[in-house]
Chains A and B, each alone.
Chain A
Amino acid sequence: MTVRELSPELRSTGGPLIELDAVSRTFATPAGRITAVDRVSLAFAAGEAMCLVGESGCGKTTTGRLLAGLLRPTGGRLRFEGQDVWEKRGKDLAAFRRAVQLVHQDPYASLNPVRTVYDTLSAPLFRHRKARGREDATTQIVELLRRVGLTPPADFLPKYPHQLSGGQRQRVSIARALSVDPRVIVADEAVSMVDVSIRITLLDLLLALRDELGVTIVLITHDLAVARYFARRGRIGVMYLGRVVELAPAEPLVSDPAHPYAAALVGAIPEADPTVTRSKERVPLRSAEVPSLLEVPAGCSFHPRCPRFEPGLCDVRVPALLPISDDREVACHVAVRERTKRV
């Protein structure tokens, strides 16, 4: 594996490594058209750790799949290294697909049950001619396994997925993603189905890959606490009904959320501390009903539930994602107005 130069600054020279430019994705369902992702613009620098958080139906998984090139946008552009991905053909498109790898949520479904760890990891090495013969492949696979913390590596080579624990399977999935030297890894709820006591090591592993190899990691999760831990030196994007409603570094987001929905999430999440959690201040929402994607509310899609709702404004105009400080953006008329006034 090659170590690429790490560019730790969010807005370093040369533009983003991968970028969603007003990307939309609609689906036709028997009940009608739904817009799973609605004009989302997100830019990721090389070597960045970013987290997309939201509840079910917010579009975060679809966004992840759009990033990995597994879904085609129905609107907007996906750019990789400045070039429109879907204009590429043949070898270039294949090269992009390899450059952005997806690690799935379900450790029980992400590995082929009839293939050993060796089989699974050697296939991409042989296919892309990175290994010549069994011995060479074994050496490289041993290195991959070591890097993802599966030691002693030789023990794991002949094992079948059902002989591994959930955490071990996820590591094999990560090793598989690494075998093609990706530039971006999208981890779609990659720790959600793993034991709580092991999540931290997997998250640390992903962050270590970022530090050592300069791989951009995009973690998708519904757990705000996991997001906070993972993105502590990165950013969190909160999504609601297909739109990004807040984009901020982890600490400002959890200590002082700007968007009412983000504030509701922060207040609602139960914590592993009885005194704290039983006395947490909740953000009361006007309605508990989550709108269906078939009937997204007009204007700001959160307005029917929002405690800061202003009639005539929030139900009419869709709020744009606007900066309220150097590194924070919010899509909320009220929040933008209040916070930019303060400055």
Chain B
Amino acid sequence: MSALARGRRWVIPAPLASVAGLIGVIARRPVGLLGLIGVGSFVGLAFIGPLFVPLHNTVDIANVYRTPSFANPLGTDFQGRDVLNQIVYGGRDILSVAFLAAFFSTAVAVTFGSLAATVGGKVDTIVLAVADIVLTVPQLVVLIVVAAIFRPEGFFILALLLASLQWAGLLRQIRAQILSLKEREYIEAARSLDLGLFHIIFREMLPNMASYVAIHFIFAMTGAVYAQVGLIVLGLVPLSGANWGVMLYLAQSQGALYFSDSFWYILSPILAISLFQLSLVALATGLEDVFNPRLRAGS
């Protein structure tokens, strides 16, 4: 469908406008296809799964640490509850926080990175200085300390906390990209035509960096997942309920490490987290082709 027929001022590249088209491009590469399937499955599992499967919260001491069977495909936990059930419910919070954290940090990095690069001067110096300070701070330590002091309860706050330390690296990279894009001839033409700072950043430069930003977004998510799980396992985040990180925390604190029968209770969340991360990385690789019009539009 031609851009014209859609009549929008900010014209999205034609195949991108249809989700089917987008998926088609990603799926062209085996790794992209795997990533799509993986991420899709986990998102489905985490958000749609709970709609169909009720949470089994009843304690059943008789069934503690059962090995996998037909009734409990991944075994049971220290309170006799089904592990698979918890895996289904355990993804929602983790994914939501990861997505939000990545969103905040990317938004901040893109906005201030491009501003600093295009405006230059004092603005650039200040933004860079702040970013450098954040970068030199040992992230894990700060995270632990802040979490220990403030005990983030809602996942919104947790997402903000995670984002607050992630934006600096991406900002520097966005800034560097924009500094180089600034010299391109079509950008010079845009300035000559007096198209305005907003247009130049968001409609000329950023679309050239779209794949870059998208891939970094995904990696910000993987970082956020690790950070979250780390904080939870250390007991710094008072989250309860079914949550992969909480499962690991409980496994550790309830002594699951000492029983051979509880193997699956520990392994399941680890597998879930790892497989999800892998899928994200595969998806990121598959995204490389999407934003390159040369590879997309063909002839």
Contact = CB atoms under 8 A, between A and B. Distances in A.
Touch A–B, Cβ below 8 Å: yes
A52 B56 CA distance: 82
Nearest to A127: B195
B126 interface: no
A69 B193 CA distance: 12
B204 A112 contact: yes
A116 B194 contact: no
B194 A111 contact: no
Nearest to B298: A163
A124 B2 contact: no
Contacts, number: 97
B193 A158 contact: no
Contacts of A70: 188, 192
B63 interface: no
Interface string A12-55: 00000000000000000000000000000000000000000000
B192 A113 contact: no
Interface in A223-254: none
Most chain A Cβ neighbours within 10 Å, of B4, B7, B203: B4
Contact of A119 (B11, B188, B193, B291): B11
Contact of B193 (A112, A116, A127): A127
Contacts of B11: 115-116, 118-119
Contacts of A298: none
Contacts of A120: 186
Given A113-B294, A158-B3, A163-B297, A127 B194 contact: yes
A110 interface: yes
A123 B2 contact: no
Contacts of B270: none
A160 B3 CA distance: 11
A288 B205 CA distance: 44
Interface string B207-240: 1101000000000000000000000000000000
Nearest to A100: B192
A115 B189 CA distance: 14
B267 interface: no
Contacts of A134: 4, 7, 9
A254 B86 CA distance: 87
Place the interface of chain A in its size category: 35 or more
Contacts of B191: 97
B28 interface: no
B14 A158 contact: yes
Contact of B185 (A106, A123, A127): A106
Contact of A162 (B4, B186, B192, B294): B294
A123 B297 contact: no
B199 A127 contact: yes
B208 A94 contact: no
A68 interface: yes
B257 interface: no
B274 to A, nearest CB: 35
A118 B3 contact: yes
Contacts of B9: 122, 126, 134
B120 interface: no
Nearest to B1: A158
Contacts of A160: 293-294, 297
Interface in B218-268: none
A294 B203 CA distance: 41
Main secondary structure of the interface of B (DSSP, over half): helix
Interface string B283-298: 0000000010110010
A111 B196 CA distance: 17
Contact of A104 (B189, B293, B299): B189
Interface in B54-78: none
Nearest to A128: B194
A101 B192 contact: yes
B22 to A, nearest CB: 15
A180 B190 CA distance: 12
B184 interface: yes
A172 B153 CA distance: 56
B30 interface: no
A132 to B, nearest CB: 12
Contacts of B169: none
Contacts of B192: 68-70, 97-98, 101-102
A171 interface: no
A160 B194 CA distance: 22
A124 B293 contact: no
Contacts of A101: 192-193
A138 interface: yes
Nearest to B186: A112
- List 3 tightest A-B contacts by C-beta distance, closest first: A112-B186, A158-B2, A114-B207
30 contacts: A69-B192, A97-B192, A97-B193, A97-B194, A98-B192, A101-B192, A101-B193, A104-B189, A110-B189, A112-B187, A113-B294, A114-B13, A114-B208, A114-B291, A114-B293, A115-B203, A118-B4, A119-B3, A119-B11, A123-B193, A123-B199, A124-B193, A127-B193, A138-B4, A158-B2, A158-B4, A160-B294, A162-B294, A173-B189, A179-B193
Interface of A: 68-70, 94, 97-98, 101-102, 104, 106, 109-116, 118-120, 122-124, 126-128, 134, 138, 157-158, 160, 162-163, 173, 176, 179-180
